[in-house]
Amino acid sequence: MTVRDETVPTVAEPGALVRAWAALDVDRLRSPLASDRSTWASADPALIDALTSAALAELGTPWPQPLFSQYAAYPLRGDRVTYETPVFAHSDRLTRAVALAAATGEERWLSEAADGLWLLCEQSTWCWPAHDDAFTRFGTVTPSRSSPYLDLGAGESVATIGWAVAAIGVELDERFPGLTDRIRDEAEIRVFRPFLDRDDWHWLGLDGRLHNWNPWILGNVIVAAATLAEPDEARRVVDRAVAGIDRYLAAMPADGAIDEGYEYWWNGAARVLEALDVLDRIGGAPLDLGSMPGLAALLRFPQRMQLSAEWYVNVADAQARADDERPWHVLHRWARRLGLTDVASYAAAHRRPGTTVVSTGMGTGRILTALLDEDWRAATPAEPPLPASVELPSVQLALARETSGSDRGLAVTLKGGHNGENHNHNDVGSVIVALDGVPAVIDVGRPTYDARTFGPDRYDIWSMRSEWHSTASPGGRMQGVGAEFAARAFRGGDDGDVAAWQVEIGGAYGLDADETWQRGVSLDRSARRVTVDDSWALDDPAGTTVTYLVWGELSDDGDGRLVLRRPVEGVRDLVLHHDAARHTIEVRRLDDPVMMRSWGSEVARLVLRPAPDASGIRLTAEAAR
């Protein structure tokens, strides 16, 4: 997220976490897990069964190991998936082995975990190649052993071995003397030393820009320091990490919004919550959260972005169709801690009968804490509570639904913001319209990450550009890139009968001072209708269009009336009506697996073209009768 003006309230005052940590007056760092073997007697049997089933299928088979050619595929071809696939597979298998060794005490899982830990130490780097600065610093396609880069991958690896030592370190020392010493040496070389020696880590937030790397890496480093580092060094590492997370909390807006979107909440804000949990454990007492009043709003962000059980408002790089393989137990635990019954119900709604709702892809720490969370295990599934409307001023995002507490009927969102956001898409003024909980007018989201995604060629990717979002093209212009290309005057609200918001988006296109483009969105609950109004004053309106990206088959009934046939069983068709002079419909075939997971094989683009002398366009949407 972007650091905001100091006058804007935030989740925590600067220094709040540093002070809370200092107040614990810790004389020594404790383990983040209880060392008593009896603790594991209460481990979740259903999750143990699920882990065992997967682990037995791979026991005795070769471990996934990344190759040099796979690593070099990124600097040579921009392909990051080829290397990350075996890295993630190795991590998942190691997580299963560690969890089962801890929960069962069986020799086969201890040996399996030892193999995985040894192989992790043998990898030339823990850094994912898409993040490694060795390519630019040294001009190589190989990682640097003498100057390792501390990124998300290195953070995940060091936390994995930290959690492993916390959970089964005693058993490893008894059965395999010297292995944990080797682990500690690797952590020192690859993580602790570079963390303390360098001040140019962008994720520390020292330049004022904060994003999800900050708590993700720093939370992992805290776990590793508490379990692997020598006492003096451990305290220095933890203190520095606490100061970094403090900067993140002090930059979070008080409304709890995350400009990176719903999906990145789980690897941003949720990582903060987990870091606070770990600080409680290693400090021996709960942190005083009294100076962090915005935590409640932070916890409510995921449910505020939910359209239905499966679908979400997917601004930025988030995917529209979420899965249940999220660490819902983290959200549930914090809802219990803060007494937020609606958030606890929302998290519990994602428990499904006969499932654990936990994936080893979440990481070792999340699996171990889920295994021991008896309150989460006892949570009763229910329908997720869905608010009638949401307004998040810090990111200029609003949502309204036809019926409070239900995904039945219409829902609409309007986004303002700017084009310098984290994981930015050029989407100022974009709208999403859902019917019966399923998006109809959509944000297509991101494709699979590659070398272009976070570099100067990001906006060569079609789905990042404004012409492929449900917004406007004044005089044929596309939106610019950077925080200066921004919306302004975002206003509106919900009076119960009608929810409506308006925003001026001309600044996103660099329009001249005398030019304007106003977009308004409303949901009339009694009429059961969504309306999007665009009005403008342009020096040269030639080439002006308004675009809506839709999911389904559009049929043209004439006179500006179109019917969107829905590809989801049980979801009603949507009727669209516009007053433009003419329109075109373009079908876009999809071949990227990330996009196809939400949308299947194709989406369509409805392009409205006004008359030359027009100064506005209206689009209405309602369920087919």
Report d(CA 241, CA 196) in Å as an integer.
Answer: 10
- Main-chain dihedrals φ then ψ at residue 485, nearest 5 degrees: -90, 90
Residue 36: the pLDDT is 79
Gyration radius (Cα) of the chain, Å: 25
Report d(CA 135, CA 133) in Å as an integer.
Answer: 5
Report d(CA 69, CA 87) in Å as an integer.
Answer: 13
Q: Which of 574, 554, 541, 318 is nearest to 438 (CA)?
A: 574
Q: Helices 364-371 and 45-58: crossing angle, nearest 10°? A: 140
Report d(CA 62, CA 295) in Å as an integer.
Answer: 44
Both tokens of residue 162?
Answer: 């930290």
Report d(CA 401, CA 410) in Å as an integer.
Answer: 6
Residue 14: the pLDDT is 92
Report d(CA 429, CA 412) in Å as an integer.
Answer: 13
CB atoms within 10 A of CB 56: 12
Pairing status of strand 545-550 against strand 397-401: unpaired
Residue 3: the pLDDT is 35
Q: What is the mean pLDDT of each run of 10 residues along the chain (625 residues)?
A: 49 94 93 86 91 95 97 95 97 96 96 98 96 91 94 98 97 97 98 96 93 97 98 97 97 93 92 97 94 93 93 93 85 95 90 60 91 90 86 97 94 97 96 97 96 93 97 97 96 97 98 96 98 97 97 94 94 97 96 96 97 96 94
Residue 351: the pLDDT is 77
Answer whether 0.85 is exceeded by the pTM: yes
Would you call 188 exposed, middle or buried from its count of C-beta atoms within 10 A (0-12, 13-18, 19+)? middle
Q: Which of 101, 95, 96 is nearest to 37 (CA)?
A: 101
Residue 372: the pLDDT is 94
Residue ranges in 176-294 assigned as alpha helix (H): 179-187, 193-197, 213-228, 231-251, 262-265, 269-283
Residue 38: the pLDDT is 85
Residue 356: the pLDDT is 53
Enumerate residues 6+ apart whose C-beta is below 8 A from 84.
Answer: 128, 130
Are 118 and 69 in contact by the 8 Å Cβ rule? The answer is no
Both tokens of residue 592?
Answer: 């990227």
Q: Which of 311, 226, 219, 313 is nearest to 262 (CA)?
A: 313
**Full set of structural domains in the chain with CATH:** 40-198 (no CATH), 389-623 (2.70.98.70)
Would you call 65 exposed, middle or buried from its count of C-beta atoms within 10 A (0-12, 13-18, 19+)? middle
Residue 8: the pLDDT is 56
Which residues are 419's β-sheet partners? Answer: 482
Residue 6: the pLDDT is 38
Q: Helices 107-122 and 179-187: crossing angle, nearest 10°? A: 40
Q: How far is CA 378 from the centre of its chain?
A: 27
Are 245 and 382 in contact by the 8 Å Cβ rule? The answer is no
